[in-house]
Chains A and B, each alone.
Chain A
Amino acid sequence: EPEVTQTPSHQVTQMGQEVILRCVPISNHLYFYWYRQILGQKVEFLVSFYNNEISEKSEIFDDQFSVERPDGSNFTLKIRSTKLEDSAMYFCASTSRFQGRREQYFGPGTRLTVT
């Protein structure tokens, strides 16, 4: 069964450093998403991406964040200058255009720890 994959599984970085989180969505999916989950809190939407551009973004997704689909398979989230409060699990998700109910499938996540 096709799966969303994410790398790395755990990233430790110092405050102020740039990080890039990587995702490979399911191959025939066309809509891509990033969510985050701070420990003990609910999953929160960050950004959606379709047709090589951002479709929607939340208020969390400020100028420090960017997304890119550099090739036909990868989907990346970049945080330019990390803050302590960016520490969270970051989940990538994807969905197929042809699934009428738009079920989203999540990758295993990257645990980001900012020290």
Chain B
Amino acid sequence: RKEVEQDPGPFNVPEGATVAFNCTYSNSASQSFFWYRQDCRKEPKLLMSVYSSGNEDGRFTAQLNRASQYISLLIRDSKLSDSATYLCVVNGAYSGAGSYQLTFGKGTKLSVIP
């Protein structure tokens, strides 16, 4: 049972390209959604939260479709520094125990090529 599923990748794109990542999640009670990036052997770093109305942060745009349980991330004008693994992350429904455990996808590796 795959709780958060992402494009397998890897994606190799030239600098300046637009690249899109997709993700689906299985828990319909999920409340919060995020994209994290992870560099090789480093910690996950929060890239952006994903809001129901869609949101943008500079070159990054995230979309959420709750009905389809689908999340996307669009990166415009790719930079070499965007090379990383992009993790789709879903926060489970509040359990009442004060916890919001995160469920991670396996990630999609992006390589931006000069």
Contact = CB atoms under 8 A, between A and B. Distances in A.
B91 interface: yes
Interface string A17-51: 00000000000000101010000011111001011
A57 to B, nearest CB: 9
Contacts of A33: 101-102
Contacts of B91: 101-102
B11 interface: no
Interface of B: 32, 34, 41-46, 49, 87, 91, 95, 97-107
Contacts of B95: 55-56
Q: Which 6 A-B pairs have the closest CB atoms?
A: A55-B99, A48-B99, A50-B98, A106-B43, A56-B99, A55-B97
A109 B42 contact: yes
A68 interface: no
A82 interface: no
B97 A106 contact: no
B72 to A, nearest CB: 18
A95 interface: yes
28 contacts: A33-B101, A42-B105, A42-B106, A45-B102, A48-B97, A48-B98, A48-B99, A48-B100, A50-B98, A50-B99, A55-B95, A55-B97, A56-B95, A58-B101, A91-B43, A93-B102, A95-B100, A101-B91, A102-B32, A102-B100, A103-B49, A104-B46, A104-B100, A104-B102, A105-B46, A106-B45, A107-B43, A111-B41
